[in-house]
């Protein structure tokens, strides 16, 4: 979960997340054009989606767009592991049988009790992906892999970043030395933990 104040609001109206920063290789300032970042993200998503579509077509894989239900052995299912595909338009279900089934349902951000997502000031990573401008400051609740990745990116973009983590260290499922090195790196880059 992320809570942020827009860069424009924090700087009194300057638009699209522009922020001056000192860079190492002789530049005195750089300007982040967040709309360009978002446009590039969208073009990459589109290209990858089209590429996967072409691979599926070339491999002659059938794609079913509907609600899939994995069935156990019954009079309706010729074998355990069959898949019933239900369609929104009321079209008759398809019953698919296969030797192997891959379940790839994607993921969803986990809600946190007491933090109601409003899509404006309290966001999940889904809403953060669609931000129109880089926030001037952001609080990231959770120091796992995804939270740390977001913190690193926003710090690189010039936002003031704070990570709130319940565990005694970041990425607590990983090696302690890696966690310590990561925390040291983030703090050196101005991230508050």
The answer to whether residue 168 sits within a structural domain is yes
The answer to whether residue 136 sits within a structural domain is yes
Whole-prediction pTM:
0.67
Kindly report, residue by residue over 72-97, the tens digit of the pLDDT: 877 766 677 788 899 999 899 998 88
Alpha-carbon gap, residue 143 to 128, rounded angstroms:
16
The answer to whether residue 55 sits within a structural domain is no
Percent of the chain predicted with pLDDT > 90: 51
Look at strands 135-141 and 160-164 and give their pairing.
parallel
Q: How many Cα atoms sit within 13 Å of 186 on the Cβ side?
A: 26
The CATH number for 139's domain is 3.50.50.60
Kindly report, residue by residue over 128-186, the tens digit of the pLDDT: 999 999 999 999 999 999 999 999 999 999 999 999 999 999 999 999 999 999 999 99
The answer to whether residue 149 sits within a structural domain is yes
136: Cβ–Cβ under 8 A, 6 or more apart, which residues? Answer: 4, 5, 6, 7, 8, 9, 10, 11, 19, 159, 160
The answer to whether residue 75 sits within a structural domain is no
In the predicted structure, residue 29 carries a pLDDT above the cut 80: no
């Amino acid at each position: 979960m992320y809570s942020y104040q827009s860069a424009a609001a924090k700087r009194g109206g300057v638009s699209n997340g522009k922020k001056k920063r000192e860079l190492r290789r002789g530049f005195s300032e750089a300007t982040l054009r967040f709309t360009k970042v978002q446009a590039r993200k969208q073009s990459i998503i589109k290209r990858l989606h089209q590429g996967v579509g072409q691979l599926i077509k070339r491999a002659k894989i059938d794609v079913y767009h509907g609600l899939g239900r994995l069935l156990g052995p019954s009079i309706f299912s010729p074998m355990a592991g069959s898949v019933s595909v239900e369609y929104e338009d009321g079209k008759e279900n398809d019953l698919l049988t296969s030797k192997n089934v891959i379940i790839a349902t994607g993921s969803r951000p986990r809600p946190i009790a007491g933090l109601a997502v409003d899509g404006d000031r309290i966001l999940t990573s889904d809403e953060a992906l669609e931000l129109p401008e880089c926030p001037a400051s952001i609080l990231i609740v959770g120091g796992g892999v995804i939270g740390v990745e977001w913190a690193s990116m926003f710090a690189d973009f010039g936002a003031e970043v704070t990570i709130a983590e319940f565990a005694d260290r970041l990425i607590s499922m990983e090696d302690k030395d890696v966690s310590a090195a990561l925390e040291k790196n983030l703090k050196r880059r101005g991230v508050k933990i």
